[in-house]
Structure 1
Amino acid sequence: MGDGAVTGTVPDFRPGGDFTLGVEDELMLVDDAGELLSERAVPLVSALVGSHVGPGHVVGEVYADQVEVTTAVCRDGDEVLAALTALRSHVTASARVMSSGVHPTAALGAAVTSPSSRYDRIVGEFAGLLRTPTAAFQVHVGLPDEQSLMLAYRGLRRRLPLLRAIAAATPYWHGVDSGLASARSAVIRSYPRHSVPPLLHTWEEYVARAEALLVAAGAPDDTYVWWDLRPRPLIGTLEVRVMDAVPSVELAAGLASLVQGIARRAVERPDDRDPSDDVLGVNDDAAIRHGLDARVVDDDQVRRPLREVAVRVLAEARETLDADGRAAPLHAVERRLAADPEPDRQRQLVASEGMPALLLDLVARTTHPEA
C-alpha cells in the first residue's frame, strides 16, 4: 500500500434486477456460556464455509470465530425470511451462534482474524483499530440501471440513521455499558473509509468520487470503499451497511423489506430534499447514541423525534410494497417500533440477572425465531 501501489477503477454497472433483495447475515460462534470461541472456532468455520443451502451459502469472515450466511437473490422479504431461517438452521446444526453487532463481553484487543490476501490487507491497514469482533446485517437491493441506482442511493442515504436506529442493539462492549445504542457503529466509524455516503446525483459523480478515493488509499478495487451505503456495480446492487446484526430473523426480513420499499419509492417518486453530508452525519451520530429515542433533522429541516419519522417512512414503504402484496414482513418493524428499545431491554436484563443472562438470551433469540 505504499507509493506506486496499483489502484483499481470502478467497473461498469451491470443490471441487477427490479428491487430484488439479497442479505448478508454475520453470526458469531460461541461456547455454551455465550463467550466467543476464538481459535477454537477454526475447525467449525472450515467445515461450514462453502456449504450451500438451497437459498444461499456460508462464507468466512475476517474474524476467525464468525461466519456469514448469504442469501440467493430474493424477490421480497418473505423469501429473505425463508432463506435466512434455512441458513441459520444449517449453521446451528453444528455450531452455537450469536447474532449481535458487538459481542458484549469480548475483551479489548481480543479479535482473532482469519488469514487471506484480502483480510491480511485489511488487518494491516486497520492495525489496532480492529480490536473487537463486530457483526452486521447487510442488505443489497438490485437496480436495473445507473439512473435508478442513483435515485435509490439518494432515497436510502437520507434514511440511513433510521435504519441504524431500528437495528441498534449493542449497548455493551468489553463487558461494560458503552452509553450508546449501537456500540458497533462507533467501532466501525473508527475504520478508514467507513463514513456516511456523500451526496451524489449521477453515476459519473459516483465513479469520480470512488476512483479518487481508491487512488488516495492505494486500494485495488471499489470493494475497498466502505461507505455506509455503496453501489456494487458488478452485481447491480446498492448495499446498505449501517445495521447491527439482529437476533430475530423476522426483524431481519422486515428490515430488508423496509430497504426495498424505501428504494422503490425513491425511484418511483423522486425527492430532492437531500440532507447535506454534515446534517446526515449529525443525524447518524444521534441514532448511534440514542437509537429510536434520537431526534433528527427531518426532510423539511425541522428537528423531530426519530420515532415520528419512522412511522411515516414505514407507512410510505408499506404503501409502496402493498401494490405487489409484498409488505407483510414490515409487521416485524412495526412491532420493534412499538416495543421498548432493544438497548433498554438488554440493560434491564443485565441489571436484573447479570451479563451471563444477556449472552444466553442473545444466543436463544438467534436460534429460536421471534420478533
Structure 2
Amino acid sequence: MTNGMSGEVPDDVGVPAHVPGGEFSVGVEEELMLVDDQDALMGAAAGPLVAAMSQSRPDAGVVTGEIYVDQVELNTPVCATAEDAWRALRELRALVGKNGGRVLAAGVHPTAPVGVADIAASPRYDRIIDEYAGLLRTPTAALQVHVGLPDERTAILAYRGLRNRLPLLRALAAGSPYWHGLDSGQATARAAIIRSYPRTTMPPLLRSWDDYVARTESLMRAAEASDHTYVWWEMRPRPLLGTLEVRVMDSVPSLTSVAALTALVQGIARRAVEAPDEHDLDDDVLAVNDHRASRYGLDTRVVDVDQHLRPMREIAGRVVAEARAVLAPDRIDAPLDALDATLAGETEPNRQRRVVAAGGMPALLADLVARTGDLEG
C-alpha cells in the first residue's frame, strides 16, 4: 500500500495486523506553528527553515514538516514515561530555536486569515487538498499522544477506556478560542474546523479487533482510500506501530502540560486494561459530550461512563486520581500534578480572553510565543 492517491481501491485492500507496540510506552507528536517577528504565520518563507531543521534521530526524536508549510512537527522517540517525553520535546523545541524558528502552540493561530494556506507538496497532500478543497481554511495544530499496546485484545480494551474519556482530554487541552482575529465562542475552535473534514470524527464503538478491521475497510472502500491512514478518527489504532493514537487535543504551549496530558493518556489506557469499563458511551452520546467539551471546555456537564450527567471538572478529578493510582506504583505519576493545578485554576480559553481584554490580540500572540518558548514551563 502507498500513501498516494489511488483512483481505484483493489479488492484485496486491508488493514495490517497489530504489531506488538510495547507495554504502555508513550510517544508524542507535537504540531507547532512557525511565526515571524510579528507573531504572524510565516507562510511560504517557512519552507527553507523547515527543510533546514528536519532530522531523524531515533534516539532523540524526529523533526518534520507538516501539510502546512508554516508548521513543524516534533516527534519523540518511544518513551517509557511522560517525563521522558518531556525531556525529548524540550530538546526538539530547543533545536527549532537554534535553527532560528519562532514557534507558537495553539489549536488555531488566533489571527490567521480565512483562506487556503500554503500547503507542502507531496502525493499524499495532493490527495488531501483535492478531497478537502475549501475546507482547508486555516492551519490547525494538535497534540497527538501514542500509547503502545502489546496485542489486539489490550488495544481494544484501552481503546474503549480512552474513547469514553476523549471529551475530557479535549476539554483539558482546549486552548483555541480565537480564529481569524475573532472570539469563536468555543473553548477550541480547532475542534469545529476538524469536524468539517471527512472521516475526522469521534471514534466509533468497537468491541473487538475484527470490528475495527471491518469498520476501517468499509470506510476505505467508500472513500477510495489507498490505506488505513486516511481514516482520521479522533483516536485510532495504528497497527504497524502497535499503538493507539489520541488525536483529540489542541497543541498546548506549556511542556509541563504536555507531559501531564501524556501521563493521563498513559494512565487511562493502563487502567482500562486492568479494570475495563462496564459500559460504553453510545456514538451519539459521545458526540454530544465532545461538542459540549469543545464549546465550554471544563465548564460544562457531560454524560459519565455510568450514564449519569456530571460536571466535567468532577469527572476530571476522578479520572486523574484513577490514572495516578495505576502510575504511582511505578513512580511515574508526578506529571499529573499539573492537572490538579489546571482543575483548580483558570482555564486556558479564559486566560486567553483575559489577555486579549487587557492588551489586545498582539498581547495574546506574544504570550503564546513566550510560553511555547519556555523550555522549563
With normalisation by structure 1, the TM-score equals 0.98
Distance 1:53 1:221, change over 3 A: closer
CA distance in 1, matches of 2:126, 2:40: 25
Using a 3 Å threshold, how does the CA distance of structure 1 residues 2 and 44 change in structure 2: closer, same or farther? Answer: closer
Q: Distance in 1 between matches of 2:18 and 2:167?
A: 27
2:263 aligns with 257
- 1:4 and 2:27 matched: no
Aligned length: 371
- Is contact 2:108-2:179 (8 Å) kept? yes
Amino acid at match of 1:321: L
Change over 3 Å in CA distance of 1:35–1:53 after alignment to 2: farther
Which one of 268, 274, 281 corresponds to residue 275 of structure 1?
281
Q: Report the alpha carbon displacement of residue 6 of structure 1 after superposing the two structures with TM.
A: 3.9
**1:57 — aligned with what?**
62
> Is 2:340 aligned against 1:334?
yes
Single out whichever of 85-94 and 140-149 deviates more from structure 2.
85-94
Could you say which residue in structure 1 is the equivalent of 2:169? 163
Aligned residue among 228, 234, 246 for 1:228: 234
- Write out per-residue CA displacement over residues 286-321 of structure 1, whole angstroms, 9 at most, x where no aligned residue: 000000102101122111110000000000000010
1:53 deviates by: 7.9
- Choose from 173, 194, 199 the match for 1:193: 199
SS of the equivalent of 1:86 reads helix
Give the drift of 1:272.
2.3
- Equivalent residue number for residue 82 of structure 2: 77
Structure 2 CA distance for partners of 1:2 and 1:58, relative to 1, 3 Å: closer
Specify the alignment match of 1:66 in structure 2.
Answer: 71
Q: Give the direction of change, closer, same or farther, for the CA distance of 1:282–1:370 in structure 2 (3 Å limit).
A: farther
**1:35 paired residue among 40, 45, 53:** 40
The equivalent of 1:177 in structure 2 is: 183
Q: Is the 8 A contact 1:137 1:241 kept in 2?
A: yes
Offset at residue 110 of structure 1 (A):
4.3
Say if 1:12 and 1:232 are closer, same or farther in 2 by CA, change over 3 A. same
Unaligned runs of 5+ in 1: none
How far apart are residue 271 of structure 1 and its match? 1.5
Question: After superposition, what is the alpha-carbon deviation per residue over 1:338-368, rounded to whole angstroms, capped at 9, x for unaligned?
Answer: 2111101000110110000100110000001
Question: Aligned match of 2:22 in 17, 22, 40?
Answer: 17
Asked if the contact 2:156–2:207 (Cα under 8 Å) also holds between the matched residues in 1, the reply is yes
Distance 1:205 1:51, change over 3 A: closer
Q: CA deviation at 1:330?
A: 0.6
Matched, 1:143 2:149: yes
Counterpart code for 2:112: A
2:300 and 2:290 map into 1 onto residues whose CA distance is 9
Q: Which amino acid aligns with 1:65?
A: D
**CA RMSD for the aligned pairs?**
1.3
1:56 maps to amino acid: G
> Secondary structure at the residue paired with 1:352?
helix
Deviation at 1:93, TM superposition (A): 1.4
The amino acid of 1:74's aligned partner reads C
TM-score, normalised on structure 2? 0.96
CA deviations on 1:87-123 (whole Å, 9 max, x unpaired) are 1111111211111110000000141100001111111
The structure-2 alpha-carbon separation of the partners of 1:235 and 1:31, relative to structure 1 and needing over 3 Å to count, comes to same
Query: Tell me, which stretches of 5 or more residues in structure 2 are unaligned?
Result: none
**Contact 2:191 2:294 survives alignment (8 Å):** yes
CA positional deviation for 1:3: 6.5
Residue 115 in structure 1 maps to residue 133 in structure 2: no
Give the CA deviation at 1:51.
4.9
